[in-house]
Structure 1
Amino acid sequence: MLSSFSEEERWLRIYVLYLDVYFLENVLLNLVLLIFTLILTGRRIRFIRLLSASLIGGMMAILPIILRLRYGIAYILLILLTGLLVITIASGMRSMSEQWTAMLHFYVMSFVWNRLFTGLERILGTKYTLCAAIVTAIMGTVSGYLYDRKRIVKKQTIYDVEVAQQGRKLTLKALLDTGNGLREPISGRPVSIIERDVYDTLCHQTIQERYRVIPYHSIGKEHGILQGTEVDELIIWREDEPYVQKKAVIALYEGKLSGNGSYQMILHTGLL
């Protein structure tokens, strides 16, 4: 009966039968590839974004079959658009250089994994290859979760910090906290938070031209304002190596940042 169909009809019939399997394989493959791409580029893994990007990647993978696209310029453009789309959704990257670097990682790994699963499919068949894809996706997801937890713990570390202003220096302890998302509204520079009492030991008066107003949002206070200033240097010591941030912006907090006094400053993650 199948022999009565034309070559093109047989090609379409085969892919209609396995379209759901092909979609699922691509979703799982995208999930694994995106996890490792985010790990290699040092980005935060957010599983809602990751799942959304994987599903969209799966839908884009079956689009050439539905549209009956052959290899050509349209096909290549669709592949590039898919990569850019899933990377942007999964990572939230806005910089083109970061996006292209991530896409390079993504497509190199995609090529390797596709070769691997094509070989497995020829040896084991579609059923067992799909099982292998599911197991790989689970392992990749668990690895991504463990990496992300380790990354968060690492980012919530206390550092020795020096604040330099007008030839004077103040040494204190600072917490690098992923929860600090403050930025200076005009320049967009990251803002760290320091206890006002501690800052006053360095400089009693805020220099007028360096004065900053930092808006913030918190639970129970939607439109808060912190006074801030620009300091000459912020020196963060990491493993005995100084990281110097010139003209850093800091917000002055009225009160104690730590209940037990273990740190007097909260660093913005964008500084490291």
Structure 2
Amino acid sequence: MEIYLDVLVLENIVMNYLILLMTAKFSKNKTSHLRLFLAAFVGAIYVAFLVVYPSLDVYYTTITKIAISFAIVAIAFSFQRFTAFFKTMVMFYISTFIFAGAGFAFLYFNHSGGFIRDGFFYVYWNSKWTVMVLCVATVGIIVKIFWEIIQSRLVKDRLLLPLKIAFENGIINLSALVDTGNALFDPLTHSPVIVVEFNAIKSILPEEIQNIFEESKEDDLVRVTKIVSNSRWFSRFRIIPFTSLGKENGILIGFKPDYIEIGDKNERKGVTDVIVGIYNKALSKGENYNALLSPDLV
């Protein structure tokens, strides 16, 4: 059987990258596409090395494979605590098992598709890309189903959370609802948007922005744009379109805070890559909460 080294490296880079991308989604560990690619490349080179030098049995051992997986995760992600690294490693193995299970299933149902040797899949050329495409499609469906289950369980267990917003010299403490319907993103930076009541956050806003909401002129796009563009906080503010909250084709005035903190003192999470959208009505009739959080931020 002929093995094309360049094709082997390419397909392993693609699969490793997708596994790491899934790991990032599950662990909510932020990284860059470059780091994911470099980590995927390291994994692909390891497989290619084993194909070129099959006699080096030491590199087939479980310890070596675990060490390589540790290196791949360390390259792909940044860590400040060992617990975060351990959590990401667990997610990495779960993602790997999902992809491997999907690949094995297609090999099982298609006996001419390939074989497994020394812990690696070898797929014949005439069915290689078919198996890869079907594998990725299957994994996508599995991940979507399990992600929705995880998110629904998360919302059920942690429905209301303390929220702290820091902006300039002001800090506001709020109660936020984890809202699965909040899928707002800033169109400029693609950062998730937290929807907050104006009255709850009024004290830390610039005076000219307060005037817009007190006069109920937040839907006047021309006026809003003019006021925001002339403000010294111009670089911090955003105009965010939305089609929720009982209104279609609406806009939210948003701003980039210095940082936010989600959760109590026992489990607190800090976030800087986020936008706060200001809503000029009450979000809760019973005043149980005054902000809406996206599940992606929890």
Report the CA distance between 1:271 and its aligned residue. Answer: 1.4
What are the equivalent positions in structure 2 for 1:227-238 lying under 5 Å apart? 227-238=253-264
The percentage of counterpart residues that share the same residue type is: 21
The alpha-carbon distance between structure 1 residues 144 and 160, as it changes in their structure 2 partners (threshold 3 A), is closer
Aligned residue among 163, 183, 186 for 1:184: 186
The answer (yes or no) to whether the contact 1:232–1:247 under 8 Å persists in 2 is no
What are the equivalent positions in structure 2 for 1:184-223 lying under 5 Å apart? 184-205=186-207, 206=209, 207-218=233-244, 221-223=247-249
Q: Which amino acid in the other structure matches residue 269 of structure 1?
A: P
Deviations 1:159-204 (A, max 9, x none): 1111111122111111111110000001111000000111112224
2:205 equivalent to 1:154? no
The answer (yes or no) to whether the contact 2:155–2:178 under 8 Å persists in 1 is no
CA distance in 1, matches of 2:240, 2:138: 34
CA distance in 1, matches of 2:114, 2:156: 48
Divergent runs of 4+, >6 A: 143-148
Report the CA distance between 1:63 and its aligned residue. Answer: 7.1
Deviations 1:66-110 (A, max 9, x none): xx5565523565444332221123335xxxxxxxxxxxxxxxxxx
Q: Which amino acid in the other structure matches residue 162 of structure 2?
A: D
Structure 1 residues without counterparts, runs of 5 or longer: 1-36, 44-55, 93-140
Q: Which amino acid in the other structure matches residue 87 of structure 1?
A: V
CA distance in 2, matches of 1:168, 1:64: 63
The alpha-carbon distance between structure 1 residues 254 and 88, as it changes in their structure 2 partners (threshold 3 A), is same
Q: Which protein is richer in strand relative to its size?
A: 1
The alpha-carbon distance between structure 1 residues 86 and 167, as it changes in their structure 2 partners (threshold 3 A), is same
CA distance in 2, matches of 1:234, 1:144: 24
Aligned residue among 110, 114, 123 for 1:64: 110
2:268 equivalent to 1:242? yes
The answer (yes or no) to whether the contact 2:113–2:124 under 8 Å persists in 1 is no
TM-score (norm 2): 0.48
Moved more, 210-219 or 167-176: 210-219
The alpha-carbon distance between structure 1 residues 224 and 90, as it changes in their structure 2 partners (threshold 3 A), is farther
| 1:170 matched residue in structure 2 | 172
Deviations 1:28-78 (A, max 9, x none): xxxxxxxxx99x9589xxxxxxxxxxxx99x9668736xx55655235654
Report the CA distance between 1:241 and its aligned residue. Answer: 2.6
CA distance in 1, matches of 2:147, 2:260: 33
What are the equivalent positions in structure 2 for 1:77-116 lying under 5 Å apart? 78-92=130-144
Deviations 1:236-264 (A, max 9, x none): 12462321112531110011001100011
Q: Which amino acid in the other structure matches residue 201 of structure 1?
A: S
Report the CA distance between 1:147 and its aligned residue. Answer: 6.5
From the CA coordinates, give the structure whose radius of gyration is larger: 1
2:124 equivalent to 1:73? yes
Aligned residue among 265, 277, 283 for 1:251: 277
| 2:288 matched residue in structure 1 | 262
State the number of aligned residues.
171
SS at 1:85 equivalent = helix
CA distance in 1, matches of 2:174, 2:206: 17
Q: Which amino acid in the other structure matches residue 82 of structure 1?
A: L
The alpha-carbon distance between structure 1 residues 152 and 42, as it changes in their structure 2 partners (threshold 3 A), is farther
SS at 1:241 equivalent = coil
What's the Cα RMSD here? Answer: 3.8
The alpha-carbon distance between structure 1 residues 235 and 152, as it changes in their structure 2 partners (threshold 3 A), is closer
CA distance in 1, matches of 2:170, 2:147: 44
The answer (yes or no) to whether the contact 1:193–1:252 under 8 Å persists in 2 is yes
